[in-house]
Structure 1
Amino acid sequence: DPLSGHLFVFINRRATQMKVLYWDRTGFCLWAKRLEQGRFLSDWQNVTPREMDWTGLKMMLEGIEPGRLSKRYKGPKNAQ
């Protein structure tokens, strides 16, 4: 169960791809997500290695950056 162990999250320099590495008792597993628009992080200046709970990771995957109140991208201007 990945929730009971440690997850290691890696984000590329453009902050458009995220990979999550964990051990599942039979070997390493790797999840990957690539964004079509927006970025996982808004500013690399404020990034520091830290521990995060499962809820924080789910929020990042959904586009909510911890400590930031706005979404990572805005929809097209003509969208309703």
Structure 2
Amino acid sequence: MIPLPSGVRVWIATGHTDMRRAMQSLALAVQESLERDPHAGDLYILWGRRGLLVKILSHDGLGMSLYAKRLDHGRFIWPSTSVGAVSISAAQMAYMLEGIDWWTPQLSWRPQSGG
């Protein structure tokens, strides 16, 4: 689980991001395309074209962290806005990272059996 200090803002970057990019390149993308400071302590969630992988960029005051999550089944639910960033709550981020539709919480995929 990603440590979230109280009051942290979570931003979803709309549009697609090249998932081959590393931490510094993603921080530059946040700064240039979203016009936000990647070192301000907010979390930025970026996603790939297929919607199976997200990367989360954060800065805790000491250094930059990069988290990645790939879904085995289903896809991440993403806003339909094409430009900019959308602010969501930490609870909505937790839903999204589990593959649950964070607009209306429902599983996007459910296992058929336990084995």
Tell me the TM-score range normalised by the shorter chain. Answer: 0.7 to 0.9
Residue 49 of structure 2 aligns to a residue in which SS? coil
Residue 51 of structure 1 aligns to a residue in which SS? strand
User: 1:19-70, CA deviations, whole angstroms, 9 ceiling, x for partnerless residues?
Assistant: 11010111110111011111112xx6x5223101111101111122122353
Any conservation in 2 of the 1:2–1:23 contact (CA below 8 Å)? no
Of 47, 52, 62, which aligns to 2:80?
47
For residues 59-70 of structure 1, the aligned pairs below 5 Å read 59-70=95-106
Structure 1 residue 13 and structure 2 residue 53: aligned? no
Q: Which has the higher contact order (CA 8 A, sep 6+)?
A: 2
Where structure 1 has 5 or more consecutive residues not aligned to the other structure, the ranges are none
Residue 8 of structure 1 aligns to a residue in which SS? strand
- Which TM-score applies when normalising by structure 2? 0.55
Of 1, 24, 28, which aligns to 2:60?
24
How high is the sequence identity, in percent, across the aligned residues? 31
Moved over 4 A (4+): none
Any conservation in 2 of the 1:21–1:31 contact (CA below 8 Å)? yes
Aligned alpha-carbon RMSD (Å): 2.1
Where structure 2 has 5 or more consecutive residues not aligned to the other structure, the ranges are 9-40
CA distance in 2, matches of 1:65, 1:16: 14
Query: Structure 2 counterpart of 1:70, which letter?
Result: Q
- Which TM-score applies when normalising by structure 1? 0.75
Q: Which residue matches 1:71?
A: 107
Q: Which residue matches 2:70?
A: 34
